[in-house]
Amino acid sequence: MVSLHNRKFISADSDKCVGCQVCEYACSFTHDKVFNAVKSRIRVVRSNQSMKSIALTCRKCQEPACVAACPRDALSQSLETGTIIIDQDQCNGCGWCIEACNYGAMMMHPESKTVYVCDLCQYRPDGPQCVKWCPEEALTVVTSDVLAQKARLNAIKKLFQEHEELEK
Amino acid sequence: MLGYAGTILYIDLTTGKSRTEKTTEETAKKYIGGIGLGMKLWLSNSKAGVDPLSPENPLVLSLGPVSGTMFPTGGNGHAFISKSPATGGVGEAVSHGTFGAELKRAGYDAIVFTGKAEKPVYLWIDDEAIQLMDASRVWGKSPGETEDAIKDEIGDYYVRVAAIGLAGEKQSKMANIINEKTRAAGRTGLGAVMGSKNLKAIAVRGTHDIKVAKGEEFMDMVKEFHERMKGPASMRYRTLGTVENLTIANDLYCMPTKNYSGSHLDKVETINADEINERFVAKIIGCNSCAMRCEHEALVREGPYKGALARIEYDNLWALGPNCGVDKLDSIIKAAELCTYYGLDATSTGVTISFLMDCHEKGILSHEELGGIDAHFGNGDAVVQLVEKIGKREGIGDLLADGAKAAAAKIGKGSTELAQHIKGLEVTGYDLRCLKTAALAAAVSFRGADHSRSGAYQLDMKGKVDRTKAEKGRGKLVKEGENMLAVIDSLIVCKNSKATYYKELADLAKLYSAVTGLDMSSAELEATGERIINLARLINIREGLTRNDDTLPWKALNQPITEDGPAKGAVVTQDELDLLLDDYYNSRGWTVEGVPPATKLQELGLAEFKSIVEGKEA
What are the pLDDT digits (tens) for B161-185?
999 999 999 999 999 999 999 999 9
Residues in A touching B211 (Cβ below 8 Å): 33-35
Residue B285 is nearest to which of A32, A37, A50, comparing CB atoms?
A50
- Residues B516-538 have a mean pLDDT of 97
- Within 8 A by CB and 6+ apart from B107, the residues are B5, B6, B7, B127, B128, B206, B208
pLDDT at A49: 63
The type of residue at B282 is: A
CATH superfamily of B7-205: Aldehyde ferredoxin oxidoreductase, N-terminal domain (3.60.9.10)
Class of domain B235-419: mainly alpha
Determine, for residues B288 and A51 on separate chains, whether the beta-carbon distance falls below 8 Å.
Answer: no
- Residues A114-139 have a mean pLDDT of 95
Q: Which of A14, A15, A21 to mutate to test the interface with B (most CBs of B within 10 A)?
A: A21
pLDDT at B83: 98
Phi, psi of B35 (to 5 degrees): -70, -30
Share of chain B above pLDDT 70, in %: 100
The type of residue at A46 is: R
Position B236 pLDDT exceeds 90: no
pLDDT at A54: 93
Distance of alpha carbon B194 from alpha carbon B368, whole angstroms: 34
Q: What is the DSSP string of B324-368?
A: GT---HHHHHHHHHHHHHHTB-HHHHHHHHHHHHHHHHTTSS-TT
User: Which residue of chain A has the CA closest to B299?
Assistant: A51
pLDDT at B409: 97
* pLDDT band at residue A154 using 50, 70 and 90 as cut-offs: confident
Residues in A touching B215 (Cβ below 8 Å): 29, 33
pLDDT at A160: 84
User: Which residue of chain B has the CA closest to A49?
Assistant: B181
pLDDT at A52: 85
Burial B317-337, CB ≥16 within 10 A → b, else e: bbbbbbbbbbbbbbbbbbbbb
Position A47 pLDDT exceeds 80: no
Residues in A touching B229 (Cβ below 8 Å): 135
Taking a C-beta distance cutoff of 8 angstroms, is the pair A86, A75 a contact?
yes
Determine, for residues B285 and A46 on separate chains, whether the beta-carbon distance falls below 8 Å.
Answer: yes
**B7-205 and B235-419: same fold?**
no
Taking a C-beta distance cutoff of 8 angstroms, is the pair B43, B606 a contact?
no
Read off the pLDDT of residues A37-46 as tens digits, 9 standing for 90 and up. Answer: 999 999 999 8
Distance from B291 to chain A by nearest Cα, in Å? 5
- Within 8 A by CB and 6+ apart from B302, the residues are none
Determine, for residues B226 and A20 on separate chains, whether the beta-carbon distance falls below 8 Å.
Answer: no
Q: What is the pTM of this model?
A: 0.96
Distance of alpha carbon B50 from alpha carbon B58, whole angstroms: 9
Distance of alpha carbon B557 from alpha carbon B553, whole angstroms: 7
Q: What is the DSSP string of chain A?
A: ---GGG--EEEE-TTT-----HHHHHHHHHHHSSB-GGG-SSEEEEETTTTEEEEE-----SS-HHHHH-TT--EEE-TTT-PEEE-TTT-----HHHHH-TTS--EE-TTT-SEE---TTTT-TT--HHHHH-TT--EEEE-HHHHHHHHHHHHHHHHHHHHHHHH-
Residues in B touching A26 (Cβ below 8 Å): 70
Distance of alpha carbon B393 from alpha carbon B384, whole angstroms: 14
Mean pLDDT of chain A: 91
Total Cβ atoms within 10 A of residue B504:
16
Judged by phi (left if over 0) then psi (alpha if -120 to 50, else beta), residue A137 lies in left
* pLDDT band at residue A165 using 50, 70 and 90 as cut-offs: low
| SS3 (DSSP) at B103 | helix
Residues in A touching B180 (Cβ below 8 Å): 50
Distance of alpha carbon B469 from alpha carbon B437, whole angstroms: 8
- Within 8 A by CB and 6+ apart from A155, the residues are none
Determine, for residues A19 and B285 on separate chains, whether the beta-carbon distance falls below 8 Å.
Answer: yes
- Residues B446-467 have a mean pLDDT of 95
pLDDT at A31: 94
Per-domain residue ranges for chain B? Answer: 7-205, 235-419, 432-612
* pLDDT band at residue A50 using 50, 70 and 90 as cut-offs: low
Read off the pLDDT of residues B240-257 as tens digits, 9 standing for 90 and up. Answer: 999 999 999 999 999 999
Distances in whole angstroms, Cα of residue A43 to Cα of each of A75, A105, B20, B301: 21, 8, 32, 31
Mean pLDDT of chain B: 96
| SS3 (DSSP) at B398 | helix
User: Which residue of chain B has the CA closest to A50?
Assistant: B285
pLDDT at A144: 86
- Residues B211-219 have a mean pLDDT of 96
Distance of alpha carbon B479 from alpha carbon B62, whole angstroms: 24
Distance from A81 to chain B by nearest Cα, in Å? 29
Determine, for residues B209 and A49 on separate chains, whether the beta-carbon distance falls below 8 Å.
Answer: no
- Residues A16-26 have a mean pLDDT of 95
Position A164 pLDDT exceeds 80: no
- Residues B35-61 have a mean pLDDT of 98
Residues in B touching A53 (Cβ below 8 Å): 285
Residues in A touching B296 (Cβ below 8 Å): none
In 3D, which of B571, B537, B543 has the Cα closest to residue B557?
B571
Give the B-side interface with A, CB within 8 Å. 68-70, 72, 75, 98, 101, 105, 144, 157-158, 180-182, 207-212, 215, 219, 226, 229-230, 282-293, 297, 299, 309
Distance of alpha carbon B37 from alpha carbon B29, whole angstroms: 10
Distance of alpha carbon B192 from alpha carbon B90, whole angstroms: 14
- Secondary structure in 3-state letters for A84-120: EEECCCCCCCCCHHHHHCCCCCCEECCCCCCEECCCC
Total Cβ atoms within 10 A of residue B220:
12
Q: Which of B288, B292, B300, B312 to mutate to test the interface with A (most CBs of A within 10 A)?
A: B288
Distance from B344 to chain A by nearest Cα, in Å? 18
Considering the domain B432-612 in this protein, what is its CATH number?
1.10.599.10
Distance from B160 to chain A by nearest Cα, in Å? 12
Taking a C-beta distance cutoff of 8 angstroms, is the pair B178, B169 a contact?
no
Give rounded-to-5 percent helix, strand, coil for chain B: 45, 15, 40
Largest CA distance in chain B: 67
ipTM over 0.90: yes
- Within 8 A by CB and 6+ apart from B270, the residues are B327, B328, B329
Question: Is there a cis peptide before residue B492, judged by omega within 30 degrees of 0?
Answer: yes
pLDDT at A3: 64
Taking a C-beta distance cutoff of 8 angstroms, is the pair B293, A18 a contact?
yes
Read off the pLDDT of residues B370-426 as tens digits, 9 standing for 90 and up. Answer: 999 999 999 999 999 999 999 999 999 999 999 999 999 999 999 999 999 999 999
pLDDT at A48: 62
Read off the pLDDT of residues B74-126 as tens digits, 9 standing for 90 and up. Answer: 889 999 999 999 999 999 999 999 999 999 999 999 999 999 999 999 999 99
Position A2 pLDDT exceeds 70: no
Q: Which of B142, B211, B230, B294 to mutate to test the interface with A (most CBs of A within 10 A)?
A: B211
pLDDT at B379: 98
In 3D, which of B416, B457, B452, B454 has the Cα closest to residue B433?
B457
pLDDT at B346: 98
CATH fold of A4-143: Alpha-Beta Plaits (3.30.70)
Read off the pLDDT of residues B256-274 as tens digits, 9 standing for 90 and up. Answer: 999 999 999 999 999 999 9
Read off the pLDDT of residues B563-613 as tens digits, 9 standing for 90 and up. Answer: 999 999 999 999 999 999 999 999 999 999 999 999 999 999 999 999 999
Residues in A touching B283 (Cβ below 8 Å): 50-52
Q: What is the DSSP string of B236-265?
A: HHHTT-GGGHHHHHHHTT---BTTTTBS--
pLDDT at B617: 77
Residues in A touching B157 (Cβ below 8 Å): 45
